[in-house]
Amino acid sequence: MTKSDKIDIQALLEESHINEVLDQLDQDLVGLVPVKQRIREIAAYLLITKARLQLGIEAAKPSLHMCFTGNPGTGKTTVAMKMADILHRLGYIRQNHVVSVTRDDLVGQYIGHTAPKTKEVLKKAMGGVLFIDEAYYLYKPENERDYGQEAIEILLQTMENHRDDLVVILAGYQDRMGTFFKSNPGMSSRIAHHVDFPDYDENELLEITKLMASAMHYNLDKAAFNAMKEYIERRKQQPHFANARSIRNALDRARLRQANRLFNDAIKHKKDTTADDLSLITEADIRGSRVFNEGLEVGLHGENDVKKAVKQAYKNLKKHNK
C-alpha cells in the first residue's frame, strides 16, 4: 500500500446516509442512551470496515451476527429494523428487510418437520436480517423428543456458510440468553456484537405515553396524565410488566373506556360529540383500570380488537348525533 492509497471517510459517510438512520433512532426511541451509543459504535465499525475492504486491507466481510438482551418492550425489534437499514446502506446485506420469528416458526412437532420449516425461514431472510425473539426457547434439554436442537444446528451452519449474505439477531432476557449460550457454545462464538437494553424509568415511560397518544391522535388532560403516572408506578410493581408494550396496552384499554363513555353519554344526554371529545382521554378512562383496584391487567386485547371496538363505538355515536 502506498501513500496514495487513501479514502475519504466523510464522503463514504455522506454517501451511505447512515447518519439519517441514527438521527431517526434518536427521534423514535425515548431514552436508551447506552443502546443508541452501542449502535453508533457498531455503525462506525461497519463504516471503517467498509473502507478497509475497499482499500484491500481486509479480504472478507466480518461476521455481523448480534444478540439483543433485555426485558420485553424495550425497543429490541425497532432497533433491529434500524440496524438492518444501516447494514443495507453500507452494502453488508442486499435487502433492507427483517424477518422476525420465534421458536414456533422454526421448530416442528414431529420427525422431519423442523428442517423444512427452518430452511424456509432462512430462505425468506437471506439477503437481509433474521430476528429470532426469545431464542433460548429453541433449546429444551429437559425434553428428549424436542426438535429445537436440529433447528439450532441448521442455523449454525447457515450463519457460518452465508455470513456474507445473512445477519442473525438473537433476542431475549439477558439471564436466559446467557444460559442458552453456555449450553450452545457454537452459537455464542458466532455472535460478534452484544447489545443490552435497559428498562425505561418512570419519566421515560411518561414521555412514551405522550408520544404514543399523540401518534394515535389522542390527548390526555392533566388529571389523566397524573393518573397515568400513578398507573405506571403501580403497574411496575406487578408481574409481567413490559415497558413500552405495557404502556401501549394501557392506552388501548383507555381508548376502549373512552369510546364506551362517549357512546353512553351520547345516548343518555342526546348531545353532540365534538372532535375534541373524540380525542380526549380523561382521568376516569385511565382509572378504570384494574391496576387501581390492586388487580392485574391480563388477557390483553389485540390491536385489531381495540380498533374494531373503537370504530364501532364511533359509528354508533355518529348515528345518534345525526
- Reported as a pLDDT band with limits 50, 70 and 90, residue 141 is confident
Check whether 127 has a pLDDT greater than 90.
yes
Q: pTM of the prediction?
A: 0.83
Q: What is the pLDDT of residues 4-50, one digit of tens each?
A: 588 999 999 999 999 999 999 999 899 999 999 999 999 999 999 99
- According to the model, what pLDDT value does residue 308 have? 56
199 pLDDT more than 50: yes
Closest by CA to 88, choosing from 64, 58, 122, is: 64
Section 50-62 average pLDDT: 86
> pLDDT per residue over 227-267, tens digit each?
999 999 999 999 999 999 999 999 999 999 999 999 998 88
Question: What is the distance between the alpha carbons of residues 214 and 129, in angstroms, rounded to a whole number?
Answer: 31
Please check whether residue 33 is in contact with residue 201, taking contact to mean a CB–CB distance below 8 angstroms. no
- List Cβ neighbours of 26 (8 Å cut-off, separation of 6 or more): 36
Q: Please, which pLDDT band fits residue 2 given cuts at 50, 70 and 90?
A: very low
Residue ranges per structural domain of the chain: 9-197, 202-321
Q: What is the pLDDT of residues 60-113, one digit of tens each?
A: 788 899 999 999 999 999 999 999 999 999 999 999 999 999 999 999 888 889
Q: What percent of the chain has pLDDT over 90?
A: 77
pLDDT of 126 reads 97
Residue 1 has pLDDT above 80, yes or no: no
Domain 9-197 has CATH 3.40.640.10: no
CB 216 within 8 A of CB 303: no
Strand partners, 70: 197
Nearest residue to 70 (alpha-carbon basis) of 172, 180, 193, 179: 172
Q: Three-state DSSP class for 299? A: coil
Res 315: pLDDT: 61
Give residue 254's pLDDT: 97
Q: Which CATH architecture has domain 202-321?
A: Orthogonal Bundle (1.10)
Quote the mean pLDDT of the chain: 89
In the 3-class helix/strand/coil scheme, how is 207-265 assigned residue by residue? Answer: HHHHHHHHHCCCEECHHHHHHHHHHHHHHCCCCCCCCHHHHHHHHHHHHHHHHHHHHHH
Three-state DSSP state, 132: strand
